[in-house]
Amino acid sequence: MNTTVTMPQSRSEQLVIQEMADETLVYDLDRHKAHCLNKTASVVWSHCDGTTTVSEMAEILHRDLNLPVDEEVVWLAISQLGKAKLLDGPAQKPFTGAVPARREVMKRMGLIGAAAMLLPVITSIVAPAAVSAASCKAKGKGCTTGAECCSGVCGPGNLCL
């Protein structure tokens, strides 16, 4: 299949984006959700401009990441971007039905082991239990122990003295 369907527009409002070496981190200020896009998903998302076609995108992935030229990979990324609410417009695949599952694409393209990591992945970031790095709380702020308070004393009513 060689579609001339253009890529949807990526969402830009109310997002905080951090480009890292091999992934993109996105914080959705509306939904208070954090996402991590792997390299493939990041490249696809960065080309969601409403003008690049899906087949062009497949070529870009082949050129930049050495992925086999296959539009299904692009549709897989678009589907995940849509689910993560990172697209502005609808992300409907035309004509040929549903977007294949990740496992199906892997099987069809013969991607195994590390190569399978090249498929687009968007994961939610869940921070491990970590206390805030704020050093201490000012007088009148809520507390549970004196260690949290600048004064060193967590007073009555669980407020810093």
In the complex, which residues of this chain contact other proteins (CB under 8 A)? Answer: 16-18, 20, 23, 25-27, 34, 36, 125-136, 138, 143-148, 150-158, 161
CB of 113 to other proteins, least distance (A): 13
Q: Which is nearer to other proteins, 115 or 161 (CB)?
A: 161
Three-class secondary structure assignment of 62-117: HHHHCCCCCHHHHHHHHHHHHHCCCECCCCCCCCCCCCCCHHHHHHHHCCCHHHHH
Task: Kindly tell me which of 28 and 70 has the beta carbon lying closer to other proteins.
Answer: 28
Whole-number minimum distance, CB 17 to other proteins, in Å?
A: 7
Nearest CB to other proteins, comparing residues 18 and 51: 18
- The residue among 2 and 132 lying less far from other proteins, judged by its C-beta, is 132
CB of 106 to other proteins, least distance (A): 19
DSSP secondary structure letters along 9-33: BBP-TTEEEEE-SSEEEEEETTTTE
Q: Under a CB-based contact definition with an 8 Å cutoff, are residues 155 and 140 in contact?
A: no
State in angstroms the smallest separation of the CB of 4 from other proteins.
36
Distance of CA 138 to the CA centre of its chain: 36
